[in-house]
Amino acid sequence: MGEGVALQEERAVERAEIERPEDMSQEQLARFLVDLVHRVMVHHTLWFREVEYQLGMPQALDILQIALTDAYNVQMRRFSKVFGFEMEKGIPKPLLEMPREKLIEVIDNLALNWLAVDGVWFQAVERTVGMFDAKRCNDTCWTRFSPFEAWSIKRLLGLPDQAGLEGLKKALRFRLYSRINVQTIIDESPNSIIFQMNDCRVQSARKSKGLEDYPCKSAGVVEYRTFASTIDSRIKTECIGCPPDEHPEEWWCAWRFYIPSDD
């Protein structure tokens, strides 16, 4: 019998002797805590998903505004007592005292983790049921995440309901993608802007491995359209090019956002 099997059996015996969390070792308690954090995150997400399903995205976001504010206050009040940190202006004080460079490093790594987990989900579905369903799940996910992210940024920056193209330009700079990829925003006319993704981490990685571009246009169309319309319902979105479309070396995808004139 190999060491791996023996270790599994030993851990099975240990688990069998556990009747309640207080029976756990320090390591087991730590794993239990991490598992609970994950459960809380998933439960929060399932609540939002069900409200969105029952009432629609606009009303779900209105309700999220209420739930998020109340939930944050409750959780931070408890955690500040447990971990012994002060709250200042609704923010954990250690974050306010953290060096700016470190705070930005944390932000960038959160964005990288987001992208990594997005890829993990895609690959998990692909390995289980195939590429078609993975792509279908991915595209549908963007129909919900993109307007949510736009809503979250509007809330963070205090943008008005009709933030216009200037509001959209600002919001695009606060997306998770903005911390990972290289992007350019060009003022095309008084009523239109062009957004270019000059370096895409996912596509560049594929290129370095000699792989073809990932055909992300179907996801991109819903992603950018719902993001822009959530920032301002008047904004229209046009795809200039996105894989599998051919594209120049200077960008992977490009999008035109415009507000139709009254003429």
What residue has token string 């459960």? 39
Span 98-120, average pLDDT: 96
Separation between Cα atoms, residue 197 and residue 254, nearest integer Å: 6
Residue 36 lies in a domain: yes
Percentage, residues of the chain above pLDDT 70: 94
Burial class (CB in 10 A: 0-12, 13-18, 19+), 143: middle
Lowest mean pLDDT segment, chosen from 11-15, 74-78, 161-165: 11-15
Structure tokens at 138: 């991915």
pLDDT, tens digit, 9 for 90 and up, residues 196-232: 999 999 999 999 999 999 999 999 999 999 999 999 9
**Whole-number average pLDDT of the chain:** 93
Phi-psi region of 56 (alpha: psi -120 to 50; beta: other; left: phi over 0): left
At 236 the pLDDT is 98
Cα gap 129→123, rounded to integer Å: 10
**In-domain check, residue 249:** yes
Per-residue pLDDT at 54: 97
Is residue 156 domain-resident?
A: yes
R_g over Cα of the chain: 22
Q: How many other CB atoms are there within 10 angstroms of residue 15's CB atom? A: 11
Residue 40 lies in a domain: yes
Domain encompassing residue 176 = 145-262
Check which CATH number belongs to the domain holding 224 and give it.
Answer: 3.30.1240
Alpha helices in 158-216 (DSSP H): 164-172, 201-208
Confidence of residue 261 (pLDDT cuts 50, 70, 90): confident
Q: Is residue 187 part of a domain?
A: yes
Task: Identify which of 250, 130, 112, 255 has the alpha carbon closest to the alpha carbon of residue 193.
Answer: 255
Residue 61 is predicted with a pLDDT of 95
Pair 231, 175: CB distance under 8 Å: no
Q: Provide, for the chain, the percentages of residues in helix, strand and coil under a 3-state DSSP scheme, each rounded to the nearest 5.
A: 65, 10, 20
Cα–Cα dist 181/196, whole Å: 11
Of the chain, the percentage scoring pLDDT greater than 90 comes to 91
Q: What is the pLDDT of residues 13-64, one digit of tens each?
A: 566 688 899 999 999 999 999 999 999 999 999 999 999 999 999 999 999 9
Q: Classify residue 117: in a domain, yes or no.
A: no
Q: How many domains does the chain have?
A: 2
pLDDT digits (tens, 9 = 90+) for 227-253: 999 999 999 999 999 999 999 999 999
Cβ(179)–Cβ(111) under 8 Å? yes
- Tell me, yes or no, whether 90 and 176 share the same domain: no
Please tell me whether residues 152 and 256 are part of one structural domain.
Answer: yes
Q: What pLDDT does residue 17 have?
A: 80
What the block records as the tokens of 215 is: 């055909």
Q: How far apart are CA 185 and CA 192, in angstroms?
A: 11
Check residue 18 and give its pLDDT: 87
Q: How confident is the model at residue 6 (pLDDT cuts 50, 70, 90)?
A: low
Answer yes or no: is pLDDT of 155 > 80.
yes
Looking at the predicted structure, is the pLDDT value of residue 135 above 70?
Answer: yes
Per the structure block, which two tokens stand in for 17?
A: 């002797």
